[in-house]
């Protein structure tokens, strides 16, 4: 058995979702956790490499442009000659 503390806003969203879908909180959390953990072996294996950015390879969600990612990881002046 596992108990998990959720922020109030997330608990509210979960409760509302479960009521609308007529499913239990446990089943929703179990499915979400299983989905998340299916990705972990790829991340764990990549993290074993020397390069810390290797663990991030392939997890992009296209929310950020390459320029934004470079700025976040290397700083504002990453492209200055």
Give the model confidence (pLDDT) of 8-66 as tens digits. Answer: 999 999 999 999 999 999 999 999 988 888 876 666 655 555 666 666 666 666 677 77
Name the packing angle between helices 8-21 and 25-47 (round to 10°): 120
Distance CA 50, CA 7 (A): 35
Cα distances (angstroms) measured from residue 70 to each of 19, 48, 52, 74, 75: 42, 22, 15, 6, 7
Quote the pTM value.
0.50
Residue scoring higher pLDDT (1 or 79): 1
Residue pointed to by tokens 């390459």 = 66
Please give the pLDDT value at position 79: 73
């Amino acid at each position: 058995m596992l108990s998990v503390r959720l922020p109030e806003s997330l608990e509210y969203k979960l409760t509302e979702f479960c009521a609308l879908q007529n499913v239990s909180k446990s089943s929703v959390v179990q499915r979400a956790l299983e989905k998340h953990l299916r990705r972990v072996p790829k991340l764990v294996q990549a993290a074993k490499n020397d390069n810390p950015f290797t663990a991030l390879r392939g997890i992009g969600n296209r929310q950020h442009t390459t320029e934004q990612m470079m700025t976040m990881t290397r700083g504002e002046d990453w492209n200055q000659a």
